């Protein structure tokens, strides 16, 4: 069973309240050149048939990672070095371009920075999220794949190393192929390129687990979240989907994150 404090960390991530992450104090993050000590390596791989622009966002008021956004061509990989303790999220932006004024924007997952690094800004949903709470001193990490705010690309997270019981979690199915028409975001060619969650599309408290529904006993899975869950049973489909969607690993593992696994 997840301890209350740890559950609070995960729930905080799920509800997009990044300014309230329960992350312990950590000195400002610096680059390898200044001798920083890293606790985990994240290897991000793009198995999609097109270029993506992964982005990172650190919570809890601590320093952002040295890379908050970068281009990743098809079949390429890139490595991030992450301190502990750390709480944050990773997502992939798609259909990005630079206009004649040099402003960088993305059709999906844009963070509004106007350039490839997001510089501490979050992505605009709908996006598939990978979320982490890394523990200090090789303690118990928490990680998940979340569709709470929608879907844009299939994604998986695989611990590398760590102690026994460190399992892969993923949403390998292209949810865009079954997206309800009123939830769908289409590209210029008419294809569905992202799918909103029920909360984002309908903006009602029973779908967002807010107001009178802001507790696990009051907010149940909806028809739409069940539809997501049936396709990606390991991923969060609504805010209180902890039991089947929160994964843990101890022993200081590294992590492999793959888009379009």
pLDDT digits (tens, 9 = 90+) for 151-208: 999 999 999 999 888 999 999 999 999 999 999 999 989 999 999 999 999 999 999 9
- 209 belongs to a structural domain: no
The total number of residues shown for the chain amounts to 261
Please tell me the total count of domains within the chain. Answer: 1
pLDDT above 90 (res 25): no
Give the CATH number, domain containing residue 247. Answer: 2.60.110.10
Alpha-carbon distance of 258 to 167, in angstroms, equals: 14
Cis peptide bond upstream of 163, omega within 30:
no
- 207 belongs to a structural domain: no
Instruction: Please report the beta strands in 147-261, taking only residues with DSSP state E, as ranges in sequence order.
Output: 155-160, 169-171, 184-186, 192-195, 247-249, 254-259
Structure tokens given for 48: 């999609």
pLDDT of residue 28: 32
Nearest of 12, 81, 3, 8 to residue 41 by alpha carbon: 81
- 68 belongs to a structural domain: yes
Nearest of 236, 82, 103, 243 to residue 170 by alpha carbon: 236
Q: Answer whether 145's CB lies under 8 Å from 169's CB.
A: yes
- 245: which strand partners? none
pLDDT above 90 (res 124): yes
On average, the pLDDT of the chain sits at 87
- 189 belongs to a structural domain: no
pLDDT of residue 5: 38
- 194 belongs to a structural domain: no
Structure tokens given for 249: 């690993």
Alpha-carbon distance of 135 to 144, in angstroms, equals: 15
**pLDDT tens digits, one per residue of 201-233:** 999 999 999 999 999 999 999 999 999 999 999
Structure tokens given for 200: 């984002």
Nearest of 133, 172, 120, 129 to residue 148 by alpha carbon: 129
- Domain extent, residue 69, equals 4-174+233-259
pLDDT of residue 82: 95
Question: What pTM does this model have?
Answer: 0.85
- 109 belongs to a structural domain: yes
- 222 belongs to a structural domain: no
Alpha-carbon distance of 171 to 143, in angstroms, equals: 13
pLDDT of residue 37: 55
Position 51 confidence tier, pLDDT thresholds 50, 70, 90: very high
- 98 belongs to a structural domain: yes
Percentage above 70 pLDDT, the chain = 85
Position 32 confidence tier, pLDDT thresholds 50, 70, 90: very low
pLDDT of residue 61: 74
């Amino acid at each position: 069973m997840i301890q209350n404090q740890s559950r609070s960390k995960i729930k905080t991530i799920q509800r997009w309240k990044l300014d309230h992450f329960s992350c312990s104090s950590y000195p400002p993050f610096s680059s390898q050149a200044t001798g920083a000590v890293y606790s985990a390596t994240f290897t991000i791989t793009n198995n999609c048939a097109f270029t993506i622009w992964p982005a990172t966002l650190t919570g809890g008021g601590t320093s952002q990672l040295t890379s908050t956004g970068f281009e990743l061509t098809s079949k390429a990989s890139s490595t991030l070095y992450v301190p502990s303790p750390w709480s944050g999220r990773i997502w992939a932006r798609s259909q990005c371009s630079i206009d004649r004024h040099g402003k960088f924007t993305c059709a999906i997952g844009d963070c509004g920075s106007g350039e490839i690094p997001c510089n501490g800004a979050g992505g605009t949903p709908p996006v598939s999220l990978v979320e982490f709470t890394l523990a200090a001193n090789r303690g118990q990490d928490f990680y998940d794949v979340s569709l709470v705010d929608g879907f844009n690309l299939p994604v998986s997270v695989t611990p590398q190393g760590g102690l026994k019981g460190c399992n892969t979690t993923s949403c390998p199915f292209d949810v865009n192929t079954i997206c309800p028409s009123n939830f769908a975001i289409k590209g210029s060619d008419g294809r569905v390129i992202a799918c909103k969650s029920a909360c984002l599309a309908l903006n009602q408290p029973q779908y967002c687990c807010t107001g009178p529904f802001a507790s696990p006993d009051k907010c149940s899975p909806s028809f739409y979240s069940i539809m997501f869950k049936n396709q990606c049973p390991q991923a969060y489909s609504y805010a209180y989907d902890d039991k089947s969607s929160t994964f843990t690993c101890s022993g200081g593992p590294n992590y492999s994150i793959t888009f379009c696994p």
